[in-house]
Structure 1
Amino acid sequence: MPSDTTVPLPRRPVPLLLVLLAVSYAVAALGGLAAADAGEVYASLRLPGWAPPGWVFGPVWTVLYGTLAVAAWLVLLRGTAAARRPALVWWAAQLLLNLLWTPLFFGAGAYGWALVDIVLLLAAVVGTVAAFARAHRPAAWLLVPYLLWVAFATALNGAVLVLGG
């Protein structure tokens, strides 16, 4: 019988990981569909001097979406029963906000609304990290690069807005 602080491992943990990876990368794909010309849009923006080249975003986001899935998987596998559900609610909320940002910024060119969304996303990522830390601390640590990248992207979005796109 499991204790209050542990959850039994699923019988098939690898398919669970594959589902979480599919969910994470589906968010990336849907965002990409909404802004198929994101590279051209980014190249045309007035950017601050500290903005990275456009080619950086694909590899970074590919890794980050993977870590989002692995972190959620660890929470499901190893998280405490009481903390697991709130952690996954935060995880889903930040994924939804993440999904909304790309069409707002690149698809609609609504840099102000995109900034509102990414500030909410940043808050949701902070909530996710905190909730994951209560559920399974190593899973929370996996989200720190994502938190830092979203903070950077928030600053970049703000700079684009200030510079007039």
Structure 2
Amino acid sequence: MSTPTETVLARRWRMDVNMGDDVTPDYQLCPAITEFQPQWPPNIEESTTYDSDGWKDNDKTGQEWSVELTFNRKATPDSTAFSPVHEALRLASFAYGPDSKVGVRFYDRNGLPEAYSGKVLVTWEDQGGESTDLGQVQVTLTGTGPLTPITNPVTP
């Protein structure tokens, strides 16, 4: 195996939304993403005791995850419908209970091994703007339950 020398680009990320259900998933591309920031910080608690000889000790006690993304809002050429994936996210942001949770997966579009899936709650923020601005939406996906490493769906 050769030593990696090429820097990957931020635009390597791709995200799909499960438009089906848990039994029959139907992952569809979330189009027009312009910014994508996944994070999964651990919760670290200091656990030092007298037995540590003055060295601090820490334990991981939990994990959370989220994705912040921005996308250009897409509509049909006759302006009668938005992207069905964007609409699924928007409608989930208004829902409660099971309808508020959306399955997502995100992965390296070039087939590198980094890929994850999980369920999220959606926060939707239309960005508004000047008359010449693009219609953009900032979405925060807050993980509910585990973020699971998966096999990249575009891996050959």
TM range (shorter): under 0.3
Question: Based on CA coordinates, which of the two structures has the bigger radius of gyration?
Answer: 2
TM-score (norm 1): 0.23
The TM-score normalised by the length of structure 2 is: 0.24
Higher relative contact order (CA 8 A, sep 6+): 1
